[in-house]
Amino acid sequence: MKIQSAAVAVILVLARVACGAGEEQSIDRKAREIIVKKCTGCHSDAKIKAAFSAGKDMRAIQKEMQGRGANLSGNEQEVLGIYWKHSPQLK
């Protein structure tokens, strides 16, 4: 009985870890697509990588870019917002 519930607990934890990782990967992929589509028309993504790596406030920069004309949907803003928070560095 004890072993069984321990096994169930382990499986639950593993499932949660697997789900979380998958979600993060797809956010990364979506965010990169958005960056290529919406951000690299005016400048290269090297500029974005440099600012990100330097630890600049990407959310503020994103807002500033929207002011300059980056046309992001609500969903795209959200994905990028999560991306800046989740990824310590662009890969």
Nearer Cβ to ligand HEC, position 27 or 65? 65
38 part of the interface to ligand HEC, by CB under 6 A: yes
| Helix, strand, coil content of the chain in percent (nearest 5) | 80, 0, 20
37 part of the interface to ligand HEC, by CB under 6 A: no
Nearer Cβ to ligand HEC, position 2 or 69? 69
75 part of the interface to ligand HEC, by CB under 6 A: no
19-28 long-range contacts, CB within 8 A, separation 24+: 24/86, 27/79, 27/82, 27/83, 27/86, 28/83, 28/86, 28/87, 28/91
29 part of the interface to ligand HEC, by CB under 6 A: no
82 part of the interface to ligand HEC, by CB under 6 A: no
Query: In 3-state terms, what secondary structure has residue 88?
Result: coil
- Residues that bind ligand HEC in the complex, under the rule CB under 6 A: 38-39, 41-43, 47-48, 51, 56, 61-62, 65, 68-70, 72
